[in-house]
Structure 1
């Protein structure tokens, strides 16, 4: 849009959320457009853009819910059919508001109706999946909307894209954060291009879909990579999660005897496996807890013998899919507090903007003693906090209501096995 305005010498104002990646804001400014940052999500930015258009008599160009926008995005389908040689089985398309998949489906189905159009969404922001399942547009709750793939994190798909998708889209598939991270790595290794999470959705969906087809597929499977607006700082978090999405790393909690020589014996049991991390802290008592990361080949044939070898000698808890362990515990192993009588644990997600952390603490109030606090900036649109509260177990319902009133996503982790082992 900024480039079009610059080319045609038309002033352009683009409204974005305050958590829009800096690389995207800077690119828009470099092409002569004015940037306004409003709100923490698409809905707030869209409402402000509509207000500006009314007040100033400007032309409002929506990002997806307009026939001309859908037609423009549909030229991607035209490019695919012109460039690809040989049979095509499916085209995988990332879905946010739905304009891209509506455009691609309209063009491709008109010329090649046998080609499947498969939409891909992040698990925590699957608006089109929900809408097609319900037969009507669904508005996802703002409080639970996952912002990891922020470029497609839209609460409600457009009316026009939905009406097209319900007729022409063959299938929808959702992918996890780890699967998205693994797809970003795959794209980089194949093309030396770094995609943003929303841009890698289709590749993640293609991998997952093909993995569910043991008899193979018919024709070429094509994925649309739709964006590369990613802050460099965010790559650290993505690279940490990539191995779990690709199933090439195991994260295990292992109980070993707290005595001389037991750590060496444990390492010998591991053999010549490539160790990605070790976390251990003496905490007294007869047993010690070790958090260990182990590189694997990604296949169950390699993972299962290793787990069998370990479980024959030690109690083992697999934590590779445990969000508490992956996001927080692996960075803060230090032993449990022997004097802490009671503690409730919560994992909280909030928009990464100035004042958000203070807003959370003020909303929480001062009646609970904070016994644990872990925060790590991932360079993403949202931040994550792990917080322990003393004496809160008797007021869990009231505390949950208070957390809900603050408006941030949260999960209680008091019964999480990673907490029991290491915190």
Structure 2
């Protein structure tokens, strides 16, 4: 990869510098803040690059505006532009459309959180039209590409594009200017790979000793799968919870740039991401979206390697929907082993539930879910019961007492598909 001169195929430092000029009066130079809590917790110096403080509350504005402005200068936006996005790229595109007075059509998954839809409409005003297509980003992307072919609108890829990558890379330039000390590790959230490719474009030349750690959600670890296979690989099924980073396949260009420069690719459990979201909100007063918490969530997985080092975690966005709070809490508690779901056998007689409460539950255990229908034609009937325990160590005692008293039928936490159907 030629980093010294701009080429058609790969991003370059020249292109990054040009992108900085384009973005000069458009974006914020976001803070690089030391987190004393995370530093103490991990035994390292942890700095957070706060891209959640951009005008559209994510770094995506960098690449989107850079790409669209260059098309605008070349007089290629007469038929409008079109893009696909799970939310943050769409907001950057909408912002650019309004500022440059360009018509844009934005395809988004039907599952996109309402908050992100409202933000896109707000930033784009009369210049954008939103079309909800499919369940995943990839469904929306295919629809957007077809629209581009049919109407001649320029397709603005969210990550697999040289000028998009160069826009995202301006973030890396800022990081290097904001610290005098050498950076040992940069933790980068990864969905399609545009941000990681931008970080590599800059750091491989200006700070080659810095190790690049990319972080994906466990349920959509497409880069990890691709690195293990040696070729860019599409996942058949993904968990869409971390919507800002849940893609079935990373970009072909971004894979080529990343594959030889990533020090390690980490896959973080969605439950750990939820635990981190709640923690940074309660302890640091930071409201992040799931993708924005990926790098912080990964620190525990890498605690031994980063001890005593200078670490930068890119906090990529804060476009979270408050209506998701209950789901976030639920996933966090399941991950920490504090909430457990069972199918319980209850005798069909009065007082059975009272006996269960007195003889099976611990003094601090709490029933949080209960679904039961009495059937007089049977001696026992099954109920679905959710129980919250004070700590994970209390689970074994609960399970033992349930079995000894004859109430136990099955444990649903080990069968997530069944649990999703029943609860």
- CA deviation after TM superposition for structure 1 residue 229, in Å: 3.4
**Is 1:263 aligned with 2:383?**
no
Aligned residues: 323
The residue aligned with 2:6 is none
The residue aligned with 1:62 is 157
Out of 257, 277, 288, the residue aligned to residue 164 of structure 1 is 257
The residue aligned with 1:380 is none
- The 1:49/1:328 distance shift into structure 2, 3 A limit, reads closer
- The 1:323/1:113 distance shift into structure 2, 3 A limit, reads same
- CA deviation after TM superposition for structure 1 residue 98, in Å: 0.7
1:22-421 equivalent positions in 2, closer than 5 A: 22-32=114-124, 33-37=127-131, 39-40=133-134, 41-47=136-142, 49-50=144-145, 59-81=154-176, 83=178, 90-141=185-236, 144-207=237-300, 209-210=301-302, 217-219=307-309, 222-269=312-359, 270-279=361-370, 280-284=372-376, 285-299=378-392, 301-314=393-406, 316=408, 317-324=410-417, 326-330=419-423
- CA deviation after TM superposition for structure 1 residue 234, in Å: 3.4
- The 1:221/1:294 distance shift into structure 2, 3 A limit, reads farther
Residues 180 and 197 in structure 1, CA contact (< 8 A), matched pair in contact too: yes
- CA deviation after TM superposition for structure 1 residue 271, in Å: 3.0
* Separation (CA, whole Å) in 2 of partners of 1:215 and 1:131: 24
Residues 369 and 387 in structure 2, CA contact (< 8 A), matched pair in contact too: no
* 3-state SS of paired residue (1:150): coil
- CA deviation after TM superposition for structure 1 residue 65, in Å: 1.2
* 3-state SS of paired residue (1:167): coil
- The 1:307/1:151 distance shift into structure 2, 3 A limit, reads same
Residues 90 and 118 in structure 1, CA contact (< 8 A), matched pair in contact too: yes
- Per-residue deviation, residues 239-259 of structure 1 (Å, max 9, x unmatched): 333311233222233335444
- The 1:219/1:100 distance shift into structure 2, 3 A limit, reads same
* Separation (CA, whole Å) in 2 of partners of 1:272 and 1:84: 52
- CA deviation after TM superposition for structure 1 residue 160, in Å: 1.8
Aligned alpha-carbon RMSD (Å): 3.4
Structure 2 residues without counterparts, runs of 5 or longer: 1-92
- CA deviation after TM superposition for structure 1 residue 36, in Å: 3.8
* Separation (CA, whole Å) in 2 of partners of 1:135 and 1:91: 23
* Separation (CA, whole Å) in 2 of partners of 1:267 and 1:117: 51
- CA deviation after TM superposition for structure 1 residue 114, in Å: 4.5
The residue aligned with 1:3 is 95
The residue aligned with 1:17 is 108
- Per-residue deviation, residues 10-33 of structure 1 (Å, max 9, x unmatched): 414142225233432332332334
* Separation (CA, whole Å) in 1 of partners of 2:327 and 2:239: 16
* 3-state SS of paired residue (1:93): strand
- Per-residue deviation, residues 126-176 of structure 1 (Å, max 9, x unmatched): 2211211111112333xx343333333323211221112111112223234
- The 1:311/1:75 distance shift into structure 2, 3 A limit, reads farther
* 3-state SS of paired residue (1:121): strand
- Per-residue deviation, residues 216-256 of structure 1 (Å, max 9, x unmatched): 84535554332333444333333333311233222233335
* Separation (CA, whole Å) in 1 of partners of 2:315 and 2:322: 18
* 3-state SS of paired residue (2:159): coil
* 3-state SS of paired residue (2:239): coil
* 3-state SS of paired residue (1:152): coil
* Separation (CA, whole Å) in 2 of partners of 1:257 and 1:214: 51
* Separation (CA, whole Å) in 1 of partners of 2:274 and 2:348: 37
Bigger relative contact order (CA 8 A; separation at least 6)? 2
* Separation (CA, whole Å) in 2 of partners of 1:289 and 1:47: 45
- The 1:305/1:145 distance shift into structure 2, 3 A limit, reads closer
